[in-house]
Amino acid sequence: MNLKNKRILVTGADGFIGSHLTETLVQQGNDVRAFVLYNSFNSWGWLDHSSKEIKENLDVFAGDIRDPHGVKEAMKGCDIVLHLAALIAIPYSYHSPDTYIDTNVKGTLNIVQAARELGVQKVVQTSTSEVYGTARFVPITEEHPLQGQSPYSASKIGADQIALSFYHAFSTPVAVIRPFNTYGPRQSARAVIPTIITQIANGKRKIKLGSLAPTRDFNYVKDTVRGFIAMAESDNAIGQVTNIGSNYEISIGDTAKLIAEVMGVDLEIETDEQRLRPEKSEVERLWADNTKAKKLLSWKPMYAGKDGFRRGLERTIEWFSSGENLKKYKAGIYNV
């Protein structure tokens, strides 16, 4: 599918990945409508910091993904929907799970229901590697069992299945993209890489983290954005679930050491009990098999392996270390 003559709606365009995706689409000359969360400050989230050229070429719709009427209104006239709007913080899902069902499951239902009624040409549903839970085998293929080890991951399993059910029941053109742990500029400090970087950048040499043993497959945000665009373009992706991952596994502890090395500091790590997940909820191991993405989408990571991870960290550290960017984060407070 050629995106040049299509109108594309990006939900969650005000967020971390969504803002990078929105900017890239506009830079490529696409017709983009950005769905941002309505608020009384008229804030467009990270898009407020986009260049003048980006903002002048955006159609911004402020609404709430939980409202089916607003969702349908936002989708009118759109050919493709890239659905990223979601609640994603795992710790917050422990004490406010109801909001995750409303936002992630019901929000996705609103998207696919409107897509069916409006005849949208494609919906790309955003999943997460968290739906796999602790790996039963590695690398993790799309056939790996789904395990809801947190209310967040359970809500995303539900959202994915709602989206796919519309493909099976009504032939709604749905494709599910399953990114592994994305990092990069603008990421929330609730995520581990910004947590480490912002603490160090603020002068701390003894930092607080949760468990150091779990492993992750980290993906630089530019690779994730390229994955979304490849999913939107590929007719073969419809009805499919596709991992977007680097196929490189590293522990949280070793990630912290690598960041300290890049930043040129000696680091001491203190375990902060409030940052630990409940024992059975911790996802101990994630490592993506990206074979399907390579075959189906002709996508492959540009920031793969330890070298690629280091290059991505260097760019991320450079952004967070800027005083103008660093002051946007409350590094001394645990961000749920």
State pLDDT tens for residues 191-221: 999 999 999 999 999 988 989 999 999 999 9
Shared domain for 207 and 129, answered yes or no, is no
In which region does residue 291 sit, left (phi positive, over 0), alpha (psi from -120 to 50) or beta (all else)? alpha
SS3 of residue 316 by DSSP? helix
- In this predicted structure, what is the pLDDT of residue 332? 76
Q: Which residues of 155-178 are buried (b: 16+ CB within 10 A; e: fewer)?
A: bbbbbbebbbebbeeeebbbbbbb
> What is the average pLDDT across 252-278?
94
The answer to the question of residue 95 being in a domain is yes
* Mean confidence (pLDDT) of the chain: 97
Beta 250-251 vs 241-244: how paired, if at all?
unpaired
Nearest CA-CA partner of 122 in 85, 155, 87, 171? 171
335 has a pLDDT exceeding 80: no
CB-based contact 47:56 (threshold 8 Å):
no
Nearest CA-CA partner of 262 in 308, 314, 218? 314
- In this predicted structure, what is the pLDDT of residue 71? 98
The answer to the question of residue 335 being in a domain is no
Beta 174-179 vs 241-244: how paired, if at all?
parallel
pTM: 0.97
How sure is the predictor about 249, in pLDDT bands with cuts at 50, 70 and 90?
very high
At 272, which CATH number?
3.90.25.10
The answer to the question of residue 232 being in a domain is yes
What is d(CA 251, CA 96) in angstroms, rounded to the nearest whole number?
28
Shared domain for 243 and 109, answered yes or no, is yes
- Which residues have C-beta within 8 Å of that of residue 53, sequence separation ≥ 6? none
Shared domain for 241 and 265, answered yes or no, is no
What is d(CA 215, CA 208) in angstroms, rounded to the nearest whole number?
18
Q: Output the furthest CA–CA distance in the chain (Å, rounded).
A: 57
Shared domain for 146 and 209, answered yes or no, is no
Boundaries of domain holding 260:
192-214+249-284+305-326
> What is the average pLDDT across 65-87?
98
